[in-house]
Amino acid sequence: MRIDVVSIFPSFFDVLEVSLLGRARGRGLLDVRVHDLREWTYDRHRTVDDTPYGGGAGMVMKPEPWGEALDAITADAAPLPVIIFPSPAGEVFTQATARELAQREHLVFGCGRYEGIDERVFTHAAQLGEVRLISLGDYVLNGGEVAAMAMIEAVGRLIPGVVGNPESLVEESHEEGLLEYPSYTKPAAWRGLEVPPVLLSGNHGAIASWRLEQQLERTRARRPDLLGSDHDGAS
């Protein structure tokens, strides 16, 4: 998979060099190219923002550098790219979104700053690929970079060969809809805290039942929304 990222803070993405995705890049599974939006500015001050038409607080990203950047990046792109703009006004990113995006050959992330990007950029980008405005969640960030990073990690680990043990992905797909059961490792007793004895019993049926019970209990307590309707009496 090829991923292009456009940002005025390209060094944010240096962290992609390390860990899981860094190894995937080294092995040729993932081709991530980070671009500085200011490469496509031509004035002395490399200006990327201006005041909003109609008034209002803050600045808006100018369309011209974005148009040039997206034209250049998609010029040689063979299969139709998905062009993703992280946005607080987008559809909410979920594991289902990650799975859809992981099927594609080419993703482009346009990371805005300030109050966002001139709306005409999205219209133009629709001529170059499939445009999606996607929100990381219902809270306000200062720009698209952190959201893009989270999306890249979630999508990247679904590419075959990126996650070391594919069994862990299979297990995830079975568990979906419930929170995880608690995990323990050695030592069996630590600071007076014992590992639940059933996990040491060797009884695999009993272990599976205990884990499912834990999943249901935790989901009811922390994420009753995942169980369909609120049965916890909190509301």
Q: Which residues are near ligand JEH by CB under 6 A?
A: 86-88, 112-113, 115-116, 135-137, 139-144, 147
Of the pair 59, 77, the CB lying nearest ligand JEH is at 59
37 in Cβ contact with 145 (< 8 Å) = no
Of the pair 129, 144, the CB lying nearest ligand JEH is at 144
Shortest Cβ distance from residue 9 to ligand JEH (Å)?
11
Shortest Cβ distance from residue 42 to ligand JEH (Å)?
23
Shortest Cβ distance from residue 66 to ligand JEH (Å)?
12
The per-residue DSSP string of the chain comes to: -EEEEEES-GGGGGGGGSHHHHHHHHTTS-EEEEEEGGGG--STT---EEPPTT--SS-EE-HHHHHHHHHHHHTT--SPPEEEEEEEEEEEP-HHHHHHHHT-SEEEEE---TT-B-THHHHHHTTTSEEEEEESSSS--SSSHHHHHHHHHHHHTTSTTTSS-HHHHHHHHHHTTSPPPP---S-SEETTEEPPGGGGS--HHHHHHHHHHHHHHHHHHH-GGGGSS--SS--
Q: Which amino acid is at 104?
A: R
Shortest Cβ distance from residue 116 to ligand JEH (Å)?
5
Of the pair 87, 210, the CB lying nearest ligand JEH is at 87
Of the pair 86, 129, the CB lying nearest ligand JEH is at 86
Of the pair 63, 88, the CB lying nearest ligand JEH is at 88
Shortest Cβ distance from residue 43 to ligand JEH (Å)?
22
Q: Which amino acid is at 58?
A: G
Of the pair 61, 128, the CB lying nearest ligand JEH is at 61
Shortest Cβ distance from residue 144 to ligand JEH (Å)?
4
Of the pair 42, 139, the CB lying nearest ligand JEH is at 139
Shortest Cβ distance from residue 104 to ligand JEH (Å)?
18
